[in-house]
Structure 1
């Protein structure tokens, strides 16, 4: 980081992901810390969704961030740092699941038929998931983030408020509006 310009912390907080990733790749720990604060809530929510455990998800996110710090100079598209971080968390979470699952010989196990009525059930579930994804995309960013952290991440109102840097009352309002919007858009699935 020889010869780099020192940037005040307040300006780093307002910088885009690409600039922060560039600076972090050059060894700027403060820029990396801003990236971590900005995306850690989503990373934890994603890890919880994959693992179903708070303790394991925190460990996975920590390991992923260590890996990210080491591999950041290799990232070509630094504007895509958020997706890259999510992929690292996903790979680490899958590694944890694989390590926890005992090996079963396939010849000793006859898998039960999936619940949900076979192909029709799978098609219906896929259609529902697609409709929910579409409905979520129509929500404003703040509502979508709050809803994702609450419903997929399992975070409480206080945790969401901390992650998003908002008052709890604002989080409650965002979630209420997100739920109302989703109910209206998903009415055909009732």
Structure 2
């Protein structure tokens, strides 16, 4: 699927491109894009998951400022390590481990109870959590407040499920001793109240992470635009974002990987797609290719040598019944 399309109307195939990735993109597609330098895709991942991760770090460290620094640094590190993320491992599970690792490795701090200000439920829980060891606290918070399964808690804490169950049993016993006869009601109410993650300005936090990422990553590889003597260039990561958006403009198609390789006087594109299985796949791929060619010429002034497409995944049905229909 690499030939230049000759169908009429190709020059108008692409639509206006969104400034942010579509909210319906799942984490797997966003992670693939972000691993190739798509800043918008990574920002969407931060926006989606920062609330839960900040809540986790705050419960484990007992210090909101330290929690924000820890989660920000975990995201910056993750941005650099995304190419190594296993395809079968959910992004949020991976990030829960990254944040838990950093919290457990943090220098000893005063007990959370001494550092927590907020609603009464926060104080009740903080006093109880202060009695737990770091490992017990991590398991209890991940299971009871974050809602992870025992298997996910074991992954996040780098232990096995048997160890997780033992730590949870010990934690529940100690928490019951701390709260006395009212333990089940008090702690249960506090946990239910705090399971709704603490309010966080997601946009502001995402902006701080983006600034930190820019400080440690480059702009991408330059690709030539126009004639050789014009000395015009565009970063491959920026060009890939425009071409992904063009493919996304085709109903039922979402772009994942997009790699651009200079070849002779032009550029070759290799793109993987996830498509909705409601129409012939070849037809969807042809429409995506036309959109990519049109976008490269109209939006970038980029001369493409060809577009190689691979359908690598099928999209989950959308809650919007009209989505994906041509």
Q: How far apart are 1:22 and its partner, in Å?
A: 0.7
Higher strand share: 2
- Residue equivalent to 1:43: 53
Higher helix share: 1
Q: TM-score, normalization: structure 1?
A: 0.52
User: Rg: which structure is higher?
Assistant: 2
Count of residues in correspondence between the two structures = 122
- Residue equivalent to 1:69: 79
- Residue equivalent to 1:52: 62
Q: How far apart are 1:163 and its partner, in Å?
A: 4.7
Residue 22 of structure 2 aligns to a residue whose secondary structure is helix
Aligned mates of 1:93, 1:7 — CA distance in 2? 39
Among 10, 18, 22, the alignment partner of 1:12 is 22
Query: Residues 100 and 20 from structure 1, CA distance in 2 versus in 1: closer, same or farther, beyond 3 angstroms?
Result: same
Query: Residues 14 and 64 from structure 1, CA distance in 2 versus in 1: closer, same or farther, beyond 3 angstroms?
Result: same
Flag as ranges the 4+ runs of structure 1 deviating above 4 A.
none
- Residue equivalent to 2:173: 122
Among 91, 100, 103, the alignment partner of 2:101 is 91
- Residue equivalent to 1:168: none
Q: Deviations over 1:109-143 (max 9, x none)?
A: xxxxx89xxx8x72985xx6xxx6xx97xxxxxxx
CA RMSD, Structure 1 to Structure 2 (Å)? 3.8
**Which ranges of structure 1 fall in alignment gaps of 5 or more residues?**
1-5, 103-113, 137-143, 165-190
Aligned mates of 2:105, 2:174 — CA distance in 1? 29
**Which ranges of structure 2 fall in alignment gaps of 5 or more residues?**
1-15, 111-130, 133-169, 177-183, 204-326
Aligned mates of 1:7, 1:32 — CA distance in 2? 17
Aligned mates of 1:123, 1:52 — CA distance in 2? 18
